[in-house]
Amino acid sequence: MSALQNVLDRIDHDLEPATGRLFDLLRIESISTDPAYRKHCADAAAWLVKDLKSIGFSAKSVKTPGHPMVVAKHHKTKGAPTVLFYGHYDVQPVDPLNLWENPPFEPKIVTGKGGMKQIAGRGTADDKGQLMTFVEACRAWKAETGNLPVNVTILFEGEEESGSPSLIPFLREYKNELKADIALVCDTGMWDAKTPSITTALRGLIGEEVTIHAASRDLHSGMYGSAARNPIHVLADLLASLHDGNGKVTLPGFYDGVPEIPASVKKQWAGLNFSEKAFLGEVGLKIPAGEKGRSVLEMIWSRPTCEINGIYGGYTGEGFKTVIPAEASAKVSFRLVGDQNPKKIVAAFRKYVKDNIPADCKASFVSEGASGAIQLDYQMPELQKASAALKAEWGRPAVLAAMGGSIPVVGHFQKILKMQSLLVGFGLDDDRIHSPNEKYNLSSFHKGARSWARIMEVLA
């Protein structure tokens, strides 16, 4: 029997203890956006260091101004290439808590649609379950052969869900230590539960929190109503005017640098077994909300967007309060494609807001990050090799897909470490990442580990 086959057999045999290890990691409430969970983030980093050491990595938790970075190395394979595996151990907040069927930090195996076994809990798909597929693949290789087929550096960050403020300085400082032949990034998805995928394009992301300030204090609407400016009205007017009647974003210059997708790619996408009706129907919707004349795949893979991710102002508790608030806020994000310039778009947004509010109102802004879009090289040999390995595992060719989300680290790896990334992950559209009842299919976890075991071998 080949070494690979022994490794795959071991992954099969060890699925239960591997799931147990993942559960231990999932129980740590490592919410990075909320300062109250700072200690939990450090705990998750420490857990990973300990686990990686147990496999034979040299591993450490490195302090940053925010949450620590986990850096681990196993460089014992002479002549083999070096890969940098990236993942993140932090998770999204869990509100609204009352919508969770199981407590978010008490992972458990549940049975989903069609009898599929699923691991339920916050971070199962984004990203703890995903990163552990790679760790388990390493564990199996070590157990069966005493070594890894390639030299492996691991970087786990703890601030991915909060804009990665420490990442760029860290990459700059540890540039030499982290440099590798290629990065492996696991924060992506499959085409469907049975078809693997490699992501080759990523949208960029801008996050802006805007607050409109009107009166110097909250006012009684009976006394001041209609005479005093209501910042919620101002905000609603502004947000409504960000799209025109055809679903296009109205910011001046917004579409500069947006490429039209080549006809050949459009044709390939049209040939995929993608049903708009099923995609929207699965979440209770029917009518595509984006630009008129574009398919849903174009909307989510190739077009820039503007979304309001949060809004608040005035009285939001139970009952009623006839208040005209002093201020109102919205969290606005833009997904970018092609050569759209994030800095120019942030400037255009802020100018647009300032130019379109009444003269006695003020606007303030908090930046939550701004990163451009990424297009990866279709011709990389590693991409071809990984495709073959995924096909061997899943019995189907990997779909080379664009992705609507953004993974800024890929851009940082390009710019700072001068390194391409290979984006392979096993998440699914219905994993409910960032939502209540997040899950990760047990098959994604199991066959994900087997996939990495194979990819490591073909990259050797």
Range 303-322, binding a copy of itself (CB under 8 A)? 303, 305, 307-322
Q: How far is the CB of 64 from a copy of itself (least distance, A)?
A: 16
Say whether residue 223 binds a copy of itself (CB under 8 A). Answer: yes
Radius of gyration of the chain (CA): 23
Q: Identify the residue among 79, 263, 359, 379 touching a copy of itself (CB under 8 A).
A: 359
Q: Which stretch binds a copy of itself (CB under 8 A): 43-51, 90-98, 143-151, 337-345?
A: 90-98
Q: What residues between 93 and 112 interact with a copy of itself by CB under 8 A?
A: 93, 95, 99
Rounded Cα distance between 304 and 389, Å, is: 32
Please report, as a single letter, which amino acid is at residue 387: S
Asked whether position 130 contacts a copy of itself by CB under 8 A, the answer is: no
Near a copy of itself by CB under 8 A, which window of 57-65, 135-143, 229-237, 392-400?
229-237
Q: Is residue 348 at the binding interface for a copy of itself, with CB under 8 A as the rule?
A: no
Residue 81 makes contact with a copy of itself by CB under 8 A:
no
Q: How many residues bind a copy of itself (CB under 8 A)?
A: 97
Q: Which of 1, 263, 278, 287 binds a copy of itself (CB under 8 A)?
A: 287
441 to 135, 209, 448: CA distances (angstroms):
17, 34, 10
Binding test (CB under 8 A) with a copy of itself, winner from 27, 38, 117, 243: 243
What are phi and psi for residue 119, nearest 5 degrees? -95, 115
Distance CA 233, CA 212 (A): 10
Note whether 65 binds a copy of itself by CB under 8 A.
no
Closer residue to a copy of itself in complex, CB, 14/429: 429
CB of 247 to a copy of itself, least distance (A): 7
Nearer to a copy of itself, 20 or 103 (CB): 103
Pairing between β-strand 323-324 and β-strand 219-220 as defined by DSSP bridges: antiparallel
235 binds a copy of itself (CB under 8 A): yes
CB nearer a copy of itself, residue 226 or residue 379: 226
String marking each residue 166-195 x if it binds a copy of itself according to CB under 8 A = ------------------------------
CB of 324 to a copy of itself, least distance (A): 6
What pairing do the DSSP bridges indicate for beta strands 182-185 and 374-375? unpaired
Give the amino acid at 427. Answer: G
**Span interacting with a copy of itself, options 62-70, 104-112, 336-344, 397-405, rule CB under 8 A:** 397-405
Would you list the DSSP string of 357-387? S-TT-EEEEEEEEEE--EE--TT-HHHHHHH
Task: Single out the residue of 150, 137, 126 nearest to residue 77, CA to CA.
Answer: 150
Calculate helix-pair angle for 128-145, 442-459, nearest 10 degrees: 50
Which of positions 132-151 make contact with a copy of itself (CB under 8 A)?
none
| Residue 222 touches a copy of itself, criterion: CB under 8 A | yes
> 161 or 393: whose CB is closer to a copy of itself?
161
- Put residue 319 in one of left, alpha, beta given phi > 0 → left and psi -120 to 50 → alpha: left
Residues in the chain: 460
Q: Does 405 bind a copy of itself (CB under 8 A)?
A: yes
Q: What angle do CA 417, 420, 423 make, to 5 degrees?
A: 125
Residues 25-44 interacting with a copy of itself (rule: CB under 8 A) = 33-35
Q: Are 140 and 449 in contact (CB under 8 A)?
A: yes
Of 4-12, 87-95, 140-148, 378-386, the window that binds a copy of itself (rule: CB under 8 A) is 87-95
Least spacing, CB of residue 448 vs a copy of itself, in Å: 18
Q: Is 278 exposed, middle or buried (0-12, 13-18, 19+ CB in 10 A)?
A: exposed
448 binds a copy of itself (CB under 8 A): no
List b or e across 395-407, with b for residues whose CB sees 16 or more CB atoms inside 10 angstroms: eeebbbbbbbbbb
